[in-house]
Amino acid sequence: MRRLGVDDLPALLELERAAQVLPWTSAALREELAHVDGEVLGVFAPALVGYISLRRIVDELWILNLATHPDHRRAGIASGLISAAKDRATSSAALWLEVREGNAAARALYEHHGFSVVGRRPGYYPAVGPQGAREAAVLMRAAKIGKR
């Protein structure tokens, strides 16, 4: 695992497009790679197979995005990235994130790592596909203590 920089943008974009239903754009990924309060960590095997995008907001650490390549899932890659995020959280601060209400895999992952639901934002995410409806975000939080 290592920190990603702007030179990693092509590999990150390729992973994002393979992993996500609605992938972030190249411009959005570039902004995260360059952000002064951001940190993007990647796992290589040997190509980039997983990443997490973190943003520090005052004393909170937010997980802005997280993905594992479909060929490498259920191998603990996302778990390792969440553990690295917990290591970076300050002792007083919590980790925060938002996730699509219907994203059962991600919600199971976060619950596995001690996150609990603390809020809901109706209609927060855009629809997937022309027939879809907007979807709620679930706001989740984990304390640094109880790291797994």
Ligand X SMILES: CC(C)(COP(=O)(O)OP(=O)(O)OC[C@H]1O[C@@H](n2cnc3c(N)ncnc32)[C@H](O)[C@@H]1OP(=O)(O)O)[C@@H](O)C(=O)NCCC(=O)NCCS
Measured from the CB atom, is 33 or 81 closer to ligand X? Answer: 81
Q: Which of 15, 7, 147 is nearest to 84 (CA)?
A: 147
Considering Cα of 30, then 32, then 38, then 42, what sign does the dihedral take?
A: negative
Please state the closest distance from residue 51 (CB atom) to ligand X, in A. Answer: 9
Name every residue whose Cβ is closer than 8 Å to that of residue 44 and which is 6 or more positions away in sequence.
1, 2
- Closest CB 137 distance from ligand X, rounded Å: 9
Q: How far is the CB of 46 from ligand X (least distance, A)?
A: 17
Q: Are 95 and 144 in contact (CB under 8 A)?
A: yes
Please state the closest distance from residue 132 (CB atom) to ligand X, in A. Answer: 16
Q: Which is nearer to ligand X, 56 or 73 (CB)?
A: 73
For ligand X, the binding residues (CB under 6 A) are 19-20, 50, 65-68, 73-79, 99, 103, 105-106, 108-109, 112
Q: Is the separation of the CB atoms in 117 and 140 below 8 Å?
A: yes
Which one, 54 or 67, has the nearer CB to ligand X?
Answer: 67
Q: Round to whole Å and give the CA distance between 28 and 11.
A: 14
Nearer to ligand X, 6 or 108 (CB): 108
